[in-house]
């Protein structure tokens, strides 16, 4: 019996030594708010500049996990293996969203669990979304389509600077700064999606949509914050140097809130140094993301400072409307990358102009480009006139007369828009495809339209060309 008990005790000791000891880690939950610029939180400037103790490789992997999980709209995900200290998780989470405007549907509300050993660090993360899954899927499609639409305005003949300028002008031509106060401000106004949804964005929205497009073009672009100004803009990396770009102030310099003059905006806040921003543009308390300095002054006095309308790039050269104020004329100017300029129009276009309090002269003439044609207006003392310049044939045409002064032009997806200053700024849209259907089927055989140009360049002059011109015959007049 004594030997039997000894055997039993021995077996118990062996099992006790070899069996694993199970330890359950204790988790605790926590709720907080991320600091998101897309919700108008300008304290995110302090967040983006803070240093992180997590090593670079681990930080990159953690950021990628957060980003991919939010892109896939996961209801929860785990980051325990990265051992991110609790004091730093909110910084990292905020930075991921702030640096990826395509995450416009992620809320600042967040809850997560954390482990206490070996030190308090984040574990399971439970993000909150501002839309339903179906709404997010639909909004993502609209967002991607808009980015592709903007990018289609650029081409491989453009330098990075020219692409940045083209995108700047496109956004300024369409964006509307809403009239807001504490009672009607909306988070969507602060996000990149605000531009996609209904064109209404405030400064954060301008900065984020610009960043989204530039980054998709592989041109580094970040947001910049001034907490004291309650203002946001961009820093963009061109030719190995960082520059300030403030679309908000360029777009709203010459129009009021809830208005959009389409082709009327400034370029004085495009590619500027910090010194120029602080000395000449009125910016202060500037907080750049870590590692960014805007010290280069190459473009502080660039030619685009003087122009309040679209500046286009075509086959590597700039084109824009220039004012000859001594003779009350406007010209279409071609400018190459070396700064050499040529007036390309052969006819004189009488145009009055305004002088603003900042000393800038602005002609009552505007220009937009559709395909290979420049459409432009010139205004005399009583009326406006619409012309075009064909870049392929180098010919000029007169299209339409307006009975009011200062018709401002715009373009969306190949459709020409215009607004008249004494018409309550209501947009007049004449869609070429609709006009094609109506005119082509209504008058397929008669010659009432008297076509004069092969507008669509299919080798045949017919009603299709009249449809693409889309203005009534009595207002068409060849001038060259």
Check whether residue 72 and residue 206 sit in a common domain: no
> What per-residue confidence (pLDDT) applies to 409?
80
Domain boundary among 112, 130, 148: 130
User: Do 264 and 332 fall into the same domain?
Assistant: no
Say yes or no: 263 and 289 in one domain: yes
Task: Answer yes or no: do 321 and 280 share one domain.
Answer: no
Please report, for residues 77, 245, 445, the alpha-carbon distance to residue 420 in angstroms, rounded to integers and kept in the order given: 53, 29, 35
Do 38 and 165 reside in the same domain of the chain?
no
The residue out of 306, 339, 356 marking a domain boundary is 306
CATH code, domain carrying 219? 3.10.620
* Structure token digits, residue 205: 């929205």
Walk along the chain (480 residues) in steps of 10 and give the mean pLDDT of each run: 48 44 54 90 65 87 97 96 92 94 96 92 95 96 96 95 97 88 79 93 96 97 92 96 96 68 86 96 91 96 93 96 92 96 94 79 87 89 86 87 76 75 42 30 34 51 48 36
- Which residues have C-beta within 8 Å of that of residue 177, sequence separation ≥ 6? 200, 201, 202, 248, 251, 252, 257, 258
Domain match, 151 and 283 both: yes
Q: How far apart, in whole angstroms, are the C-alpha atoms of residue 93 and residue 307?
A: 41
Q: Of 72, 98, 130, which residue is a domain's last?
A: 130
pTM of this prediction?
0.82
Bridge partners (DSSP) listed for residue 110: 32, 127
**Which residues, 6 or more positions from 309, have their beta carbon under 8 angstroms from its beta carbon?**
263, 264, 265, 320, 321, 365, 366, 367
Report how far residue 292's alpha carbon sits from residue 282's, in angstroms, rounded to the nearest whole number: 20
Whether residue 52 sits in one domain with residue 74: yes
Number of domains in the chain: 4
Same domain, 212 and 302: yes
What is the per-residue pLDDT for 332?
A: 96
Assess if residue 161 is contained within a domain. Answer: yes
Distance between CA atoms of residues 148 and 146, nearest Å: 5
**Cα–Cα distance between 26 and 38 in angstroms, integer?**
35
Same-domain check for residues 319 and 407: yes
Q: Are residues 238 and 191 in the same domain?
A: yes
* Residue 408 and residue 315 in one domain: yes
Angle formed by the axes of helices 160-174 and 203-216, nearest 10°: 140
Q: What is the pLDDT of residues 381-423, one digit of tens each?
A: 888 888 889 999 998 888 778 777 777 788 877 777 777 654 4
Is residue 10 in a domain? Answer: no
Q: Is the dihedral of CA 229, 233, 239, 240 positive or negative?
A: positive
pLDDT for 259: 63
Q: Which domain holds residue 474?
A: 430-480
On whether the CB atoms of residues 223 and 239 are closer than 8 A, the answer is: no
């Amino acid at each position: 019996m004594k030997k039997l008990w000894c055997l039993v005790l021995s077996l118990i000791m062996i099992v006790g030594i070899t069996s694993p000891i199970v330890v359950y880690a204790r988790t605790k939950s926590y709720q907080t708010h991320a600091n998101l610029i897309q919700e108008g939180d300008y304290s995110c400037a302090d967040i983006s500049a803070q240093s992180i103790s997590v090593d670079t490789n681990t930080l990159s992997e953690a950021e990628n996990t957060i980003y991919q999980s939010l892109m896939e709209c996961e209801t929860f995900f785990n980051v325990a293996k990265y051992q991110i200290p609790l004091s730093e998780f909110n910084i990292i989470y905020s930075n991921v969203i702030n640096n990826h405007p395509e995450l416009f549907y992620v809320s600042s509300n967040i809850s997560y669990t954390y482990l206490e050993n070996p030190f308090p660090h984040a574990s399971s993360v439970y993000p909150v979304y501002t839309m339903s899954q179906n709404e997010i899927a639909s909004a993502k499609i609209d967002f991607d389509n808009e980015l592709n639409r903007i990018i289609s305005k650029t081409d491989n003949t453009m330098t990075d600077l020219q692409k940045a300028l083209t995108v700047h002008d496109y956004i300024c031509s369409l964006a509307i700064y809403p009239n807001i106060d504490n009672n009607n401000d909306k988070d969507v106004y602060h996000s990149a999606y605000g531009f996609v949804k209904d064109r209404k964005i405030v400064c954060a929205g301008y900065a984020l949509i610009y960043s989204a497009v530039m980054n998709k073009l592989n041109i580094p672009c970040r947001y910049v914050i001034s907490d004291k100004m309650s203002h946001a803009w961009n820093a963009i990396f061109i030719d190995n140097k960082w520059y300030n770009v403030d679309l908000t102030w360029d777009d709203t310099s010459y129009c009021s809130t809830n208005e959009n003059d389409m082709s009327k905006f400034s370029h004085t806040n495009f590619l500027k140094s910090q010194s120029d921003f602080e000395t000449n543009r009125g910016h202060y308390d500037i907080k750049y993301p870590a590692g960014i300095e805007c010290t280069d002054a190459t473009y502080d006095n660039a030619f685009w400072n003087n122009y309040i309308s679209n500046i286009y790039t075509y086959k590597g050269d700039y084109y824009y409307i220039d004012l000859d104020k001594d003779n009350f004329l406007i010209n279409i100017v071609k400018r190459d990358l070396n700064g050499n300029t040529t007036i390309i129009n052969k006819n004189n276009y009488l145009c009055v102009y305004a002088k603003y309090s900042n000393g800038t002269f602005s002609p009552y003439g505007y220009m937009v480009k559709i395909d290979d044609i420049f459409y432009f207006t010139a205004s005399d003392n009583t009326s406006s006139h619409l012309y075009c310049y064909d870049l392929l044939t180098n010919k000029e045409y007169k299209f339409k007369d307006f009975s009011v002064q200062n018709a401002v032009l715009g373009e969306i997806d190949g459709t020409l828009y215009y607004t008249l200053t004494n018409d309550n700024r209501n947009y007049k849209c004449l869609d070429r495809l609709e006009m094609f259907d109506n005119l082509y089927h209504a008058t397929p055989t008669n010659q009432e339209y008297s076509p004069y140009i092969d507008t669509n360049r299919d080798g045949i002059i017919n009603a299709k060309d009249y449809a693409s011109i889309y203005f009534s015959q009595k207002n068409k007049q060849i001038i060259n």
